[in-house]
């Protein structure tokens, strides 16, 4: 079974993979919002402090983004069931 983090990295690529430059051109906030909404709809809460989330989003959007597996691990670390 795929984790919510794995599903989210797929969703993230549907809104603009780092390799296609969309994240680098100003859609970082939109990508974060869509990801948080996706988690909420699926019964999860994505919890990261503002500074931690901003740093990681900028890392993903940077010139040398981490491998998708690392993104999945970061997302899973910050995921909690709602309720």
Q: Write down the pLDDT at residue 30.
A: 86
CA distance 47 to 59: 17
- Residues with Cβ within 8 Å of 74's Cβ and at least 6 positions away in sequence, in order, are 5, 56, 66
Average pLDDT of the residues in 59-66: 88
pLDDT for residue 46 is more than 90: yes
Q: Write down the pLDDT at residue 75.
A: 93
pLDDT band at 9 (very low <50, low <70, confident <90, very high): low
Percent of the residues in the chain that have a pLDDT greater than 70, as a whole number: 69
């Amino acid at each position: 079974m795929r984790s919510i983090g794995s599903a989210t990295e797929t969703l993230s690529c549907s809104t603009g993979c780092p390799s296609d430059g969309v994240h680098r051109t100003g859609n970082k906030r939109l990508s974060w919002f869509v990801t948080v909404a996706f988690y909420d709809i699926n019964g999860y809460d994505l919890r990261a402090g503002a500074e931690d989330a901003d740093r990681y989003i900028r890392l993903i959007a940077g010139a040398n983004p981490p491998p998708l597996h690392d993104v999945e691990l970061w997302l899973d670390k910050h995921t909690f069931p709602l309720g």
